[in-house]
Amino acid sequence: MDGKDSGVYIATPLSRLNASDGMATPRAQEEYEKFYQTLGGKPVHQRLATHWARLIELLYAAERWVELATDPEITSDNFRTIPTEKPTEGVGIVEAPRGTLTHHYWTDERGIATRVNLIVGTTNNYAAIQMSTNKAARNLIKGGNVNEALLNMVEMAFRAYDPCFGCATHTLPGKMPLEVIIRNANGEPIRELKQNL
């Protein structure tokens, strides 16, 4: 199920670091080099390393922000280009801490959005999230014995992909809903646990 021939891909900070040749700012580059030295070189596949990769990208963003804030073009009079035509369709793709975000919009003759298609980081990573949580649950839960600590460890499996899943599901901090169904070898449910549902 897992592996390079599975057809499953991930779009995360770890993916981007693995595909890059380095970082464009000095401190982020130092951390990038330390990351690969510590974890044995490219590519890194340990899913929890995604958090470290995310921090390297955030360091880059902070350094880049300082560069942009001191760029004279940012404060020039040319800060907005007024459209001369009414767009009918537009696509934007941005890399974010949760993964790659793709926004696709269609508009009518007044410029009002009539159709929207969003593919967010979580959507890109659904298959990998499922495989990671499945693997974590199978390795941690034995004989149907489960407790809150084990549930938290299973939750860590998808937090590597999406640390702000609570935001995506509009839940309060620390109150993300979680449902776990323990099944026997025949796939029959033997126990169900719910948290914050």
For the chain, 197 residues long, give each residue's pLDDT as a single digit of tens.
Answer: 577 788 888 888 999 999 999 999 999 999 999 999 999 999 999 988 999 999 999 999 999 999 998 888 887 777 777 878 878 999 999 888 878 889 999 999 888 999 999 888 888 888 888 888 888 888 888 877 777 788 788 888 888 887 666 555 555 555 666 777 888 888 888 888 777 76
In this structure, are 146 and 96 located in the same domain?
no
In this structure, are 66 and 95 located in the same domain?
no
pTM of the model as a whole:
0.74
Q: Evaluate whether residue 150 is within a structural domain.
A: yes
Q: Evaluate whether residue 24 is within a structural domain.
A: yes
Q: How many domains does one find in the chain?
A: 3
Handedness of CA 43, 168, 118, 179 (dihedral sign): positive
Structure tokens at 30: 């130092």
Burial 14-36 (b: 16+ CB within 10 A, else e): bbbbbeeeebebeebbebbeebe
Tell me the one-letter amino acid at 180. Answer: V
Q: Evaluate whether residue 135 is within a structural domain.
A: no
In this structure, are 17 and 47 located in the same domain?
yes
Cα dihedral 127/128/131/134 (nearest 10): -100
Task: Find the domain containing 186 and state its range.
Answer: 142-195
Q: Evaluate whether residue 124 is within a structural domain.
A: no
In this structure, are 63 and 100 located in the same domain?
no
User: For the chain, percent helix, then strand, then coil, each to nearest 5?
Assistant: 40, 20, 40
What are the residue ranges of helices labelled H in 97-187? Answer: 121-140, 148-159, 165-168
Last residue of a domain, one of 51, 72, 93: 72
Tell me the one-letter amino acid at 105. Answer: Y
Q: Evaluate whether residue 137 is within a structural domain.
A: no
